[in-house]
Structure 1
Amino acid sequence: MSVKMTIQFFSSAFFLLLITNCQQTQVNKKPNILLICVDDLRPELKSFGANYISSPNIDALASKGVIFQKHFVNSPSCGPSRYTLLTGQYGAAGNNALFRRASKIYQGIEVEKSMPEWFKENGYTTVSVGKVSHHPGGRGGANWNDSTKVEMPNAWDRHLMPVAEWQHPRGMMHGLANGEIRKKADKMDVFQSVEGNDNSYPDGAISNEAVKQIGELTSNKKPFFLAVGIIKPHLPFGAPKQYYDKYQGVKLPAIKHPNKPESRTTWHGSGEFKKYNSWGKNPNKDSVFADEVRRHYAACVSYADAQVGKVLAELKRTGADKNTIVVLWGDHGWHLGEHAIWGKHSLFEESLHAPLIIHYPGMKHEGHKTDAIVETLDIFPTLCDLAEIEIPKHIQGISLQKILNNSNSLGHSAVAYKSNASTIRTVTHRMILHKDGFVELYDHTTTERETKNIANQYPQLVEDLKKKLYARLH
């Protein structure tokens, strides 16, 4: 063999060995995790049955994953709901739940490890972009950018919040087009639609940073846990006009049970919505205005969907999609006039019902829908199972792997709480227990659903559900 042929032989052999080793590394590498959190997103998506909604990117993910049609959050507010997602435990009912946990850590009090911290200990690079915990970027202070006040200590290798022309994370959270920041809510319009590209509203900067992070993370040999938090469709309902135009002339479905409850419930006066400038209009009395509010909410859903699409496209472009578990999660629901509420914070179905989609490479039942009742607490143990790492002992949720393998598998009851009441949802009923002992019981097998309190008719069922609720929360 000549010297030239010998060199060619060893060069080819070395190249083949290099390729083989790279492929072996990819095979042996634990799966990456991409967690996409969308704020105030009720299941108003085409893949969840809202046929008038344009949500092609989330729907494409749903067509490859399992759609949990009866996923319920553990609290109808951003902070406590994200607490349960990120810790796998029930917690305080206020928006400061994670900051309260952080305060214990700073005082030297031992607390159980959060989900990103757990994956970090198991060899993952952990990164958050946007609104993952309650404050976008995960910091406190007047403008939510004080690095001495971290919402989730020890959790993230990088917790990032691009602010673009909105100056700071607080400005991003309630920002409207081209850098408009909320100073006084009553001076900011409740909805808006202006000409411009995706970067004219805050979520464009968030998705751009997420795309950048995927590029960096995929060049690393370590598996990554990337959480991306999209702000819209959170109030105020602002999105580029191209998304609002999708709903011009579209007939919206009627608002279900639009009347204010006559008896005692967890109804509230839509205070968060009413903070904004509504031009003196009341959507409960003005059907044309109600229709406009709903169209702008829908526009925000489509805008959020476009940001999800950018992130998923980059995941695919890098090839990392072949080894990445993707979870799309809504942090709670949102009333669009049901029970005469425009907002969240109730314990009705509309506040607690949120989308959940899980996809992972090689799953058997792509595009399947399940009616199993599950809750946000279940996401932490499910990701541990899928990544084949130990589930922490302190987790209060249940892994959904069995349902992912068989969409006909049964779920379990779901509980939720706010400061003055708690609730349990079964396949057939929802019971709401107020702190003073008052009970609401609703039958979901009837057309009345959560409009007729039947607690007095079924005292034994109430007692049984009280015991189940107490056992779960204590």
Structure 2
Amino acid sequence: MQNRIILSSILMLGFTILLNGQISKKKNILLICVDDLRPELGSFGASYIKSPNIDKLVNEGRAFQNHYVNAPSCGPSRYTLLTGIYGPPKNDALFLRSKKIKKEPNVMHPSMPEWFRQNGYTTVSVGKVSHHPGGRGGKDWNDNNVIEMPNAWDKHIMPVTEWQHPRGTMHGLANGEIRIKAGDMDVFQTVEGPDTIYPDGHITNEAIKQLESLTSNNEKPFFLAVGIIKPHLPFGAPKKYFNLYADVKLPDISSQEKPKGISTWHESGEFMKYNRWGKNPNEDKEFAIEVRKHYAACVSYADAQVGRILSKLKETGADKNTIIVLWGDHGWNLGEHAIWGKHNLFEEGLHSPLIISYPGIKNKGKSNFGIVETVDVFPTLCDLTTIETPSFVKGKSLKPQLKKYNKKGHIAVSYNTKANTIRTGKYRLIAHKNRNFELYNHYKDPYEINNLAKTQPKTVMKLKKILDNRL
């Protein structure tokens, strides 16, 4: 009898220590970045898209339906995510920061992963998290002497397999095809085979491997960032994903006409430089549908990778103590305003999905419709992990919107090399550096067709002042 009492006491003590350890341990972070992903998801209103895994994440967390990136291009957008501040407008934004750190190491603020690393986290990146997959520079993006984010990661990994190097994987098509000259590479492709026939299958395999390693060592919380490349150009996905859209009727493209007057319209150079078999989606309706279906296939392929990662997280049991963030690095025009690509300041170029989920979230599955922006992610993660929020970050914590799904948002600002823009609930103002303006009333003109700048100069000046104060 006495032995049973002693044994029960020991077991109870052990359980109490384990429970206290779980309670006191900081929450893990799983950040999933998806390249060129506009809100073309079932849970964001695109009912024809097959995205069951991301939709499930929405049902278990909070979708921010009006999230806007701070720049419509991969490099500068990821700069804002990973630093919490606005930065240079070009793709070399993080490399410029890296050069400054090398010259003056104590001048630059720490990046988000570096901040969490300083606060006791193990930080690992897999795939395309910063602008270059694997986070290195050099000719083939694999030079260990040219680090995109110094001091940020304990490990930054890019499995290259048959694509030879990270540069090869970035624009890689099936079976190790590497882009040498864009004009010789098809703009879209679909091939029979497993998910590993394209690079994202290997990125996901490595992410799962890292999850297994990180969750087997409970000494420190982890910050694992995974970057999925598709649906970035060229569009390529295993045929089983393309087949999902074989008989699907796509909705019409809204506002297909090229804008008249001043705008951030461009000639879709990134898209047009690939082999298009002499076709132009602005002139060929059937080709436009084909392009959109290949984009959709890439979204479903990326969704499948997200599903595999989340399944592994649950399998390890770490999902009970992990904050999950899924973020699209910018929007992508699929024919709206006669643009096929990003790099513009219209709604479609800046609107992207943001989803945050964690154990115990209230009113899970309820979306927030307030305006939020990418720089909000850094302070939000600090808030959710009870780590001090650094004073230099420019965003606002989204914890109020996570606690109360119908909480209002704020404003979002964005920029490219030629203009800056501000998005409020009612208006979008685009302020060009040549002193021209675009003003759109989203209550009456959600597709940004009618420029009101000349007829509403007071509204323009009011918004311009707010924009200038932010940037």
Question: Which TM-score band applies after superposition, normalised by the shorter structure?
Answer: over 0.9
Decide which of 44, 51, 54 is 1:58's aligned counterpart: 54
Q: Deviations over 1:192-241 (max 9, x none)?
A: 00000101110000000110111111112210000000000000000000
For residues 37-436 of structure 1, what are the structure 2 equivalents within 5 Å?
A: 37-109=33-105, 110-220=107-217, 221-436=219-434
Task: Give how far 1:277 is off.
Answer: 0.4
Q: Deviations over 1:3-52 (max 9, x none)?
A: xx84x765565444334322321121110000000000000000000000
Q: Which runs of 5+ in 1 are unaligned?
A: none
Q: Are the aligned partners of 1:381 and 1:391 in contact in 2 as well (CA < 8 Å)?
A: yes
Q: Are the aligned partners of 2:376 and 2:395 in contact in 1 as well (CA < 8 Å)?
A: yes
The alignment partner of 2:367 has SS state of: strand
Q: Are the aligned partners of 2:69 and 2:329 in contact in 1 as well (CA < 8 Å)?
A: yes
The alignment partner of 2:425 has SS state of: coil
Task: Give how far 1:408 is off.
Answer: 1.6
Task: Give how far 1:436 is off.
Answer: 1.1
Q: Deviations over 1:259-318 (max 9, x none)?
A: 111212000000000111000000000000000000000000000000000000000000
Q: Do residues 21 (structure 1) and 17 (structure 2) align? A: yes
Query: What's the Cα RMSD here?
Result: 1.2
For 1:142 and 1:17, locate their aligned partners in 2 and report how far apart those are by CA, in whole Å: 57
Paired residue type of 1:207: T
Q: TM-score, normalised by structure 2?
A: 0.98
Paired residue type of 1:45: L
For 1:449 and 1:298, locate their aligned partners in 2 and report how far apart those are by CA, in whole Å: 21
Q: Are the aligned partners of 1:443 and 1:449 in contact in 2 as well (CA < 8 Å)?
A: no
Paired residue type of 2:113: P
For 1:368 and 1:385, locate their aligned partners in 2 and report how far apart those are by CA, in whole Å: 20
For 2:454 and 2:87, locate their aligned partners in 1 and report how far apart those are by CA, in whole Å: 31
Pair 286,10 (structure 1): closer, same or farther in 2 beyond 3 Å: same
Higher alpha-carbon deviation: 300-309 or 438-447: 438-447
For 1:427 and 1:305, locate their aligned partners in 2 and report how far apart those are by CA, in whole Å: 29
For 2:152 and 2:470, locate their aligned partners in 1 and report how far apart those are by CA, in whole Å: 26
Q: Deviations over 1:379-436 (max 9, x none)?
A: 0000000001110000000001111111221111110001110000010110100101
Q: TM-score, normalised by structure 1?
A: 0.97
Task: Give how far 1:100 is off.
Answer: 0.4
Q: May I ask how many residue pairs the two structures share in their alignment?
A: 469
For 1:188 and 1:247, locate their aligned partners in 2 and report how far apart those are by CA, in whole Å: 23
Paired residue type of 2:267: G
For 1:25 and 1:161, locate their aligned partners in 2 and report how far apart those are by CA, in whole Å: 33
Q: Are the aligned partners of 2:254 and 2:447 in contact in 1 as well (CA < 8 Å)?
A: no
The alignment partner of 1:345 has SS state of: coil
For 1:10 and 1:176, locate their aligned partners in 2 and report how far apart those are by CA, in whole Å: 63
The alignment partner of 2:252 has SS state of: coil
